[in-house]
Homo-oligomer: A and B are copies of this chain.
Amino acid sequence: MARRLTLSFSCPDTTGIVAEVAGFVARHRGSITEASQHTEAELRRFFMRVEIEAESLDFPAAEFGERFRPLAERFGMAWTLSDSDRPRRVIILCSKQEHCLYDLLARQVSQDFRFVVPCVISNHEAHRKVVEAHGIPFHFIPVTPENKADAYRRMEAIFRAEQADLIVLARYMQVLDEQLCRDFAGKILNIHHSFLPSFAGAKPYHQAHRRGVKLIGATCHFVTPELDEGPIVEQDVIRVDHSDTPEDMVQLGKDIEKVVLARGLRAVVEDRVLLAGNNKTVVF
């Protein structure tokens, strides 16, 4: 695939933003391969994502940011620029359950979307062999009530040493501490095994079974200090019926958990997800 720059931003809504951005790209002979935009009426805020073929520009791709900055400042944009030549570094955290981990490893192998896994961290040894078979380092960091603070500081050190762009909780069965949530705000993705806001917290399939719902769901969201309250990136559901026990739901749910997590991760990795206010996302 040809090298691409992806510009995504939000700014106060006004007329002429698209004209200016598209005009800037056009003046430099840039070829736009994909563009999306949205206005969040209540916030009076404008959101945009533009993919540009790096080679089509009449200046070196590395200069894009510098050249675009004045325009960004004029409109008061919160903006990011990413380069397909520098794939995102995604650290995976997992526990005993295998489905999300295997699913992400498979995607990493095929590079359906571009990302690198510098390491996997787990509070169990269960998946060391499979992870290492991919040449990916595996860190066993047990978490107990006693060593919790220590354990999280060890993780934090790894996040920083590995220059992680994203941390994915692939059914990681521990709640991260507030410091991690704060320091890596907007960089930690979780998969919760319910259709939030229903059944937040522990054992959502058991809650679902008790209420007698006819669909169960999964939710990929950014982690915030408030458990299961972060901005939602992706959700999906599947059908269950009266014959499904909570244990059946646990199994059936895996198929949407892994797909919802992967779709969410892909969207974030491709800069398709922008935060709108405190708890909503725009997903282009």
Q: What is A's interface to B at a CB cutoff of 8 Å?
A: 15-16, 18-20, 22-23, 25-27, 29-41, 56, 97-99, 101-103, 105-106, 109-110, 112-113, 129-130, 132-134, 195-199, 211-215, 217, 231-237, 241-243, 245, 251, 254-255, 259, 262, 276, 279-283
B26, A15: Cβ atoms closer than 8 Å: yes
A112, B251: Cβ atoms closer than 8 Å: yes
- Return the contact of A133 from the options B37, B133, B245 (Cβ within 8 A): B133
Given contacts A18-B22, A215-B236, contact A110 B130 (CB under 8 A): no
Q: List 22 A-B contacts (CB under 8 A).
A: A18-B18, A18-B32, A18-B35, A19-B27, A22-B23, A34-B243, A36-B36, A41-B245, A98-B110, A99-B110, A112-B251, A195-B213, A212-B276, A213-B235, A214-B234, A214-B235, A242-B276, A242-B281, A242-B282, A255-B259, A255-B262, A259-B259
Closest chain B residue, CB of each to CB of A34: B243
A19, B26: Cβ atoms closer than 8 Å: yes
CB-CB under 8 A from A106, the residues of chain B are 98-99, 101-103
B197, A254: Cβ atoms closer than 8 Å: no
Q: How far is the CB of A11 from chain B (nearest CB, A)?
A: 15
CB-CB under 8 A from A134, the residues of chain B are 129-130
A276 to B280, CA, bound (A): 35
Closest chain B residue, CB of each to CB of A247: B1
A235, B215: Cβ atoms closer than 8 Å: yes
A235 to B242, CA, bound (A): 13
A195 to B19, CA, bound (A): 41
